[in-house]
Structure 1
Amino acid sequence: MDLDLQWRDGYGYLYLDGADLAVDDGLRTAVLVSLFTDRRARDDDRLPDGSEDRRGHWSDSYLPNGDLEGSRLWLLEREKVLPDVLRRAEDYSREGLHWMLEDGVAATVQATAWTTGRSDLNLRIVITRPTGEQVELEFLNIWQQESQRAV
């Protein structure tokens, strides 16, 4: 069980369920953290703000085997949503969720990115658990973070 993290307006929020914090027995919280925590950029990544800040998460120092937390989706924040950016969003999403395969949490992880043509970047994540059960999550207009929904 994880605390039930809800993503709204670019921030993760915890909610109450009565007098207790709400919990999530699914994968949604793990997916949110994996996608929307800023993974350290590689040396060959072009940084969106032109700075030298490659970001990264404090926990990277404690992870084994050079593993990194999060995803590189943040690199796409200032990009026009063109076919190459959609492909990179899918690649970065799969990269951020790859730990689920390594740890046996998922048998498969699929990521699909699309736009409606209004500069929005949307993600559909489908995780097949080892039992065969599928969990599908959609994140709509990820730069605005206004909506997420389980499908």
Structure 2
Amino acid sequence: MTDIALAFADDALFADIALEGGDLATDDGLRTAVIISLFTDAPARADDPLPQDGADRRGWWGDAGNDDANDRTGSRLWLLERAKATSDTATRAREYAQEALDWMVADGVAASVSVEATLFRPTQAAPQAALRLSIVIYRPSGVRVAIDILWDAEANRILSTGVTA
């Protein structure tokens, strides 16, 4: 599976199409699929607490045409944008990320996907709280892909991403 590559600009709130030498960059290492899966807003469930009372329940417009109402693109990580840096927030982030990436196994893109979430509290050296999502994907061929994302949930900003195979 080859995608047009997406990349986060430093301190950006969004990913953009990556270019290499004036051409569109491609990605067959699942990084772009993970970015889309985690940072496209899935709709909030009826029982999800919203970051602000009366807020939009969001969701990606492209899901409107899906035959299966459970076939949704994105994650509910956006629900954490005003969450305090607690172990409960890390647990919810792990659950939301795992849920958003489970399609890879169902569609045969991966044999397994596991997610760990680690919370970093502010210190003098790093004044913002951050959440590290460590994702390990095993392809059906057995190839291991590890993706680490350091995310400042309060500012809803990606601090860094890394991929190792």
TM-score normalised to structure 1 length: 0.94
The residue that corresponds to 1:131 in the other structure is: 141
The residue that corresponds to 2:103 in the other structure is: 99
Task: Describe the superposition over 1:13-46 as per-residue Cα deviations: whole angstroms up to 9, x where unpaired.
Answer: 1122123111111100000000000000000001
What code does the residue aligned with 2:15 have? G
The residue that corresponds to 2:131 in the other structure is: 121
The residue that corresponds to 1:41 in the other structure is: 44
2:60 and 2:6 map into 1 onto residues whose CA distance is 18
1:64 and 1:31 map into 2 onto residues whose CA distance is 23
The residue that corresponds to 2:126 in the other structure is: none
Cα RMSD for the two superposed structures: 1.2
Structure with a larger share of its residues in helix: 1
The residue that corresponds to 1:112 in the other structure is: 116
What code does the residue aligned with 1:5 have? L
Deviation at 1:117, TM superposition (A): 1.4
1:76 maps onto 2:77 in alignment: no
The residue that corresponds to 1:87 in the other structure is: 91
The residue that corresponds to 1:140 in the other structure is: 150
Which SS does the other structure have where 2:42 is aligned? coil
1:63 maps onto 2:66 in alignment: yes
Deviation at 1:120, TM superposition (A): 1.1
Contact 1:7 1:32 in 2 (8 A): no
Task: Describe the superposition over 1:88-145 as per-residue Cα deviations: whole angstroms up to 9, x where unpaired.
Answer: 1010001111111110001111111112212211111111111111110111124321
Deviates more, 1:139-148 or 1:100-109: 139-148
2:142 and 2:120 map into 1 onto residues whose CA distance is 31
1:68 and 1:138 map into 2 onto residues whose CA distance is 23
Deviates more, 1:92-101 or 1:116-125: 116-125
Percent of aligned positions that are identical: 46
2:150 and 2:13 map into 1 onto residues whose CA distance is 12
TM-score normalised to structure 2 length: 0.87
Q: Which of structure 1's runs of 4+ aligned residues deviate more than 2 A?
A: 141-144
Contact 1:3 1:22 in 2 (8 A): yes
1:140 and 1:117 map into 2 onto residues whose CA distance is 13
1:31 and 1:141 map into 2 onto residues whose CA distance is 14
2:85 and 2:66 map into 1 onto residues whose CA distance is 33
User: Structure 1: any 5+ residue segments left out of the alignment?
Assistant: none
Contact 2:3 2:27 in 1 (8 A): yes
Aligned residues: 151
